[in-house]
Structure 1
Amino acid sequence: MPSSPSSSVQQAREALAGRLREIRLDAGLSARALAVAAGWHESKTSRIENAKTQPSDADIKIWCSVCEANDQVGDLIASSRAVASMYVEWRRVQRTGLERLQKSSIPLYERTRRFRFYHSLLIPGLFQTAGYVGALMAAISTFREIPDDIEQAVAVRMERQKVLHSGARFAVLVEQSVLYYQVGDAEVMAGQLDHLISMAALPSVSLGVIPFATGGRPVWPLEGFSVFDDHQVNVELLSAMVTVTQPREIALYVKAFGRLADMAVYGGAVRSLIAAAIDDLR
């Protein structure tokens, strides 16, 4: 089953640090000698090699120049940037509000042909109503103390839902608990659940719900994740967005999705579960 997304990022950082250490050793340099030649403190070399400090592009260029490994600069910078993009703190991308973040995801959604969403806490974004999105974003904006551009952000997210009619395929799995975690007031939540029933009727959408009473689970409830084709997995944590691009890690999430899908119910059984959740709101 998938390991912690944060640990995956750390492994990638350590792999990059290991490559830099190997370059230094191949050059026959001590950490002190490299630091002197680079013009920085020896502790910086140690922090980079122990994956405590992410090297900048300039650091990598200097490191390779000192070690006479300039042919590796391009590859190492590309790897470093990939590692940096794997773990992006919300405070960095949401500091000006939520609209910019919503816009940034549009190219990914437009080029993806096969979507797989698993959520244990929330309705997936492509299937949210404006009322549900607004209530959710209001909570996020208040909690993270960021500028209020909720109206604009909601509009962008709703516009993004055009991909539901693009010919792509959508497999959606939610835990039954998602139907009961109330976002917004009862009217907003009832409208959201009605909308979910409508979305499940689309020929391009497969909606599965994993019932509370599922016994002998081969996979425990996980953090929500989204699989875009077989190229990328996004995992949303409280503090950050983690992007997984390593094929072996993507394969783990795909495997988990398959096991979760086997536990879910579909069709009429889903409609019955959603109808029961709506009744509980009245």
Structure 2
Amino acid sequence: MPSSPSPSSSVQRARQSLADRLRELRQAAELSGTDLAAAVGWHKSKVSRIEKAVQPVTQADIRAWCDACNAQEQADDLTASLRAAEGGYVEWRRLEPTGLRKLQESYVPLYEQTRWMRVYQPHVIPGLFQTAGYARALLGAITEFRNIPNDVEAAVEARLGRRRVLTTGGHTFVFLIEQCVLDYRIGEPEVMADQLRHLLQDMSLPSVSVGIIPADAPRPMWATEGFTVYDTSQVQIELLTANVTVSVPSELNTYFKAFDELSALAVYGSAARELVAASLRALGAG
């Protein structure tokens, strides 16, 4: 079985990909490395070092490069690629050195500034809908699996505190949940039953739209990793080992398209509520 690439190798690949795109722009403009260096006032060796991903590139470097290649329209996309290479992949161990509470709290400013949040969740009930019992069971399992300091009770309190964005003005939420999530047992049966009842209540909130993707829905769009879209500026993906932030426009568009196609598979309103109710009945709690 092949080993997974390390985060450092992922970052290096992202840097090399950016360097390759810069080289392609130079070649498309029919400029030599010496020509480009002269156009922007650099030593010619800097161009070579950037194209080999030996020297880190800055936002100012990217804009100067695009100007010299008469490709100004590429600057924003390349700058976003730079941000992704610099901080898009962050291991959980770096985010959770003292436990989970601080990580839960760190999301609050982003949640509060986001006007339109879109969430696709194929694994667990979305965090903003979670009850204390469900969150306690889930965060407890994460704490044990990752072998991090146990501050589960404080983390649960912090996670529940984020729910206020659901009922404060100016926010719109769209949630897509795979039907299997309703049947995955997180915690004891009574914890899961309470969670499903709570989900039914939250589905009635005026700021919220919830779609459930039936297990038997025809799948022109497959189930992907879970992701959250914040307005139109970034997407976050939670992997087993790391949190990934996507901000490159071309990659964002891929996630926007995926969300739209997944939305088309979902049922809403009474049909969605019936799927939740069916899972409740399966627990003997209908």
TM-score category by the smaller chain? 0.7 to 0.9
Q: Does 1:179 align with 2:193?
A: no
Show the counterpart of 2:75: none
Which residue number corresponds to residue 92 of structure 1?
94
Q: Deviations over 1:95-145 (max 9, x none)?
A: 211111111111100000111111111111111111111110000000000
User: 2:261 matched to which residue of 1?
Assistant: 259
**CA displacement at 1:280 relative to structure 2:** 1.2
SS of the equivalent of 1:88 reads strand
The residue correspondences of 1:194-213 to structure 2 (distance < 5 A) are 194-213=197-216
| Structure-1 separation of matches of 2:202 and 2:10 | 34
Give me the whole-angstrom Cα distance separating, in 2, the residues matched to 1:187 and 1:10: 47
**Equivalent residues of 2:98, 2:149 under 8 A apart:** yes
2:192 equivalent in structure 1: 189
5+ unaligned residues in a row in structure 2: which ranges?
1-6, 27-31, 38-42, 65-77
1:162 aligns with 2:164: yes
Spell out, residue by residue over 1:198-226, the C-alpha distance to the aligned partner (whole angstroms, 9 max, x if none).
000111111110111112x2200111000
Q: Distance in 1 between matches of 2:166 and 2:213?
A: 23
Q: Distance in 2 between matches of 1:147 and 1:87?
A: 22
Match of 2:130 in 1: 128
What amino acid is aligned across from residue 200 of structure 1 in structure 2? M
1:9 Cα shift?
Answer: 6.5
Q: 1:146 to 1:204 in 2, by over 3 A?
A: same
| SS of match in other structure, 2:123 | coil
Structure 1: which 5+ runs fail to align? 1-5, 35-44, 65-70
Amino acid at match of 1:192: Q
Tell me the residue number matched to 1:28: 44
Question: What is the CA deviation profile of residues 2-61 of structure 1, one whole-angstrom value per residue up to 9, with x for unaligned ones?
Answer: xxxx99967642244448988986433399xx9xxxxxxxxxx7xx8655xxx7xxx64x
Q: CA deviation at 1:84?
A: 2.5
Partner of 1:72: 61
Q: Compared with structure 1, are the counterparts of its residues 267 and 77 closer, same or farther at alpha carbon in structure 2 (3 Å cutoff)?
A: closer
Q: TM-score w.r.t. structure 1 length?
A: 0.78
The answer as to 2:230 corresponding to 1:214 is no
Q: Distance in 2 between matches of 1:144 and 1:24?
A: 47
Secondary structure of the residue aligned to 2:44 is coil
Whole-angstrom CA distance in 1 between matches of 2:102 and 2:234 = 21
**In 2, distance between residues paired with 1:246 and 1:209?**
29
Query: Which residue identity is paired with 2:195?
Result: Q
Distance of 1:165 and 1:225 partners within structure 2: 22
Q: CA deviation at 1:78?
A: 9.4
TM-score (norm: length of structure 2): 0.77
Query: What is the SS of the residue equivalent to 1:29?
Result: helix
In structure 2, the partner of 1:113 is 115
Range with bigger deviation, 174-183 or 7-16? 7-16
Q: CA RMSD in A?
A: 3.2
Distance in 2 separating the partners of 1:186 and 1:234: 30
Change (3 A) 1:30 1:161: closer
SS in 2 for 1:198: helix
Give the counterpart letter for 1:264 in structure 2: A
C-alpha distance in 2 between matches for 1:226 and 1:233: 6
How far, CA to CA, are the matches of 1:272 and 1:73 in structure 2? 53
- Matched pairs, number: 249
2:181 and 2:257 map into 1 onto residues whose CA distance is 22
Residues 223-267 of structure 1, C-alpha deviations (whole Å, 9 max, x = no match): 100001111100110001110111221111111111111111111
Maintained 8 Å contact 2:229/2:235: yes
Percentage of matched positions with identical amino acids: 50
Q: What does residue 104 of structure 1 align with? A: 106
Q: Offset at 1:151?
A: 0.9
